[in-house]
Structure 1
Amino acid sequence: MLALNEQREAVGAGAGRARAQVDLCDVRHKFAGGEFLFRPLNATLLPGQRYALTGASGSGKSTLLSILAGWLDPSEGTVLRHGLQSIGWVFQNPHGSARRSVVDHVVLPLLATGASRRHAETQARLVLEAFQLAHRADDAFSVLSGGEAQRLMLARAVASSPDLLLVDEPTAQLDMRTAETVNTALQLVSAGGSIVVVATHDERTADACDQTIALSE
């Protein structure tokens, strides 16, 4: 397998960008009429690290992802984003265009940067190789397994070169072997220089991360 940092270098990821960092300062949240979802959070999120958000259902994992993305303002506290130019989000249920090829899913964000079709496809196939999807490059999204679809969404996110990648329950309902391939893919993403934050109930996924942010005991 090709190292992901080589793939990111090939597509020019990170060139000329400031070092990204996200600081959470006494952040907590509640919805109207409700209780606070989690205790005040203080944390510094850094590139090259994977952070597992853990807690019971309803503890605020997805809410915190939305706060990190800037889609939701916290009820209390401050989120400071330094050098953060791009954010990627991989949802729990992978969404793709059923008839579109695997390689086209990765090509599109590269074309959006102004790359030529030829260059974008060459780089997309390199990224797919890093995620063990090269053999699926010309297949339709509809024929992928759950684990393959999840890895494709991660590959597409990497092609977009996000400073911050948010991932919601990436191994939910996956068997152990498939979950391991997704966890390996997350490691590759962080190794490429992204801040990776993963909301998960899966102890194996949490253990595979570098740090854990527990929202409930």
Structure 2
Amino acid sequence: MVSVELDNVGHAFNERTQLFHGISLTLLPERVYALVGPSGSGKSTLLSIIAGWQQPSTGKVVRHGICKTSWVFQNPIGVARRTALDHVALPYLGQGYAAADAERLAREQLERFGLGDAADKRFGELSGGEAQRLMLARGVASNADLLLVDEPTAQLDMRTADAVDQYLGALSRSGTIVVVATHDHRTRDAATDVIDLERYQ
């Protein structure tokens, strides 16, 4: 079964800077985990530890059946001259889809995130909100077992943010483990589970 087990996980930069400690939980598919806590509490660090990109200071993380991990960063990163369609089609091409199928699937993802009309825009021409939604669409297109999302609604209006929250919920029900670091109370309320780092300070 696909899962991520955190066993007494803690992290500190030095003796005086302990971010969190004693986190023991199991992350499962069909759940959306809202990772919350004040700025500086270690949300991005914990995402990195869950992804396996950083080792915790204490405890261990065991991943079962995780073949692919995708991380949607808070600050959109793209190639200025490439179109929105290019950015989402690329993960499908990497999975072996033919070019026509990759483009069709990419357009479907763009439509889901309200970017159908922006498919042919270059990344450098997108607004901040459009670029953020594009990164979400690209993350979903990667077909990852574990999707980590950092502040997905920070640059979105309320209606679009609610739509993104709903889509992340639907994605989790398809078998993906979804962990969302957020300050947005609506995203927290839309999640199935909450990991509050204040409990582990």
State the TM-score, normalized to the length of structure 2. Answer: 0.91
Q: 1:118 aligns with which of 84, 89, 100?
A: 100
Asked if 1 retains the 8 angstrom alpha-carbon contact of 2:136 and 2:152, the reply is no
Residues 1:37 and 2:19 aligned together:
yes
Closer/same/farther in 2, CA of residues 179 and 126 from structure 1, 3 Å limit: closer
Select between 94-103 and 74-83 the one with higher mean Cα deviation.
Answer: 94-103
Structure 1 residue 108: Cα displacement: 0.8
Closer/same/farther in 2, CA of residues 173 and 34 from structure 1, 3 Å limit: farther
How is 1:1-217 mapped onto 2 (pairs within 5 angstroms)? 19-216=1-198
Distance in structure 2 (CA, Å) of the matches to 1:98 and 1:90: 18
Structure 1 residue 66: Cα displacement: 0.8
Q: Which has the higher strand share?
A: 2
| 1:40 counterpart SS class | strand
Distance in structure 1 (CA, Å) of the matches to 2:150 and 2:109: 21
The size of the alignment, in residue pairs, is: 199
CA deviations 1:35-79 (Å, max 9, x no partner) are 321231111111121101111111111110010111111111111
Structure 1 residue 153: Cα displacement: 1.0
Distance in structure 2 (CA, Å) of the matches to 1:213 and 1:105: 31
Structure 1 residue 124: Cα displacement: 1.4
| 1:205 counterpart SS class | helix
Asked if 2 retains the 8 angstrom alpha-carbon contact of 1:150 and 1:182, the reply is no
Aligned-residue CA RMSD in angstroms?
1.7
Identical-pair percentage: 58
Asked if 1 retains the 8 angstrom alpha-carbon contact of 2:129 and 2:155, the reply is no
Distance in structure 1 (CA, Å) of the matches to 2:180 and 2:56: 19
Structure 1 residue 173: Cα displacement: 4.3
Q: Which 5+ residue runs of structure 1 have no aligned equivalent? A: 1-18
Distance in structure 2 (CA, Å) of the matches to 1:156 and 1:21: 23
Distance in structure 2 (CA, Å) of the matches to 1:189 and 1:73: 27
Q: Which 5+ residue runs of structure 2 have no aligned equivalent? A: none
Closer/same/farther in 2, CA of residues 51 and 76 from structure 1, 3 Å limit: same
Structure 1 residue 103: Cα displacement: 1.0
Distance in structure 2 (CA, Å) of the matches to 1:59 and 1:191: 29
CA deviations 1:23-43 (Å, max 9, x no partner) are 111111111233321231111
Asked if 1 retains the 8 angstrom alpha-carbon contact of 2:109 and 2:137, the reply is yes
Distance in structure 1 (CA, Å) of the matches to 2:79 and 2:53: 25
Distance in structure 1 (CA, Å) of the matches to 2:128 and 2:174: 24
Select between 64-73 and 148-157 the one with higher mean Cα deviation.
Answer: 148-157
State the TM-score, normalized to the length of structure 1. Answer: 0.85
Select between 105-114 and 178-187 the one with higher mean Cα deviation.
Answer: 178-187
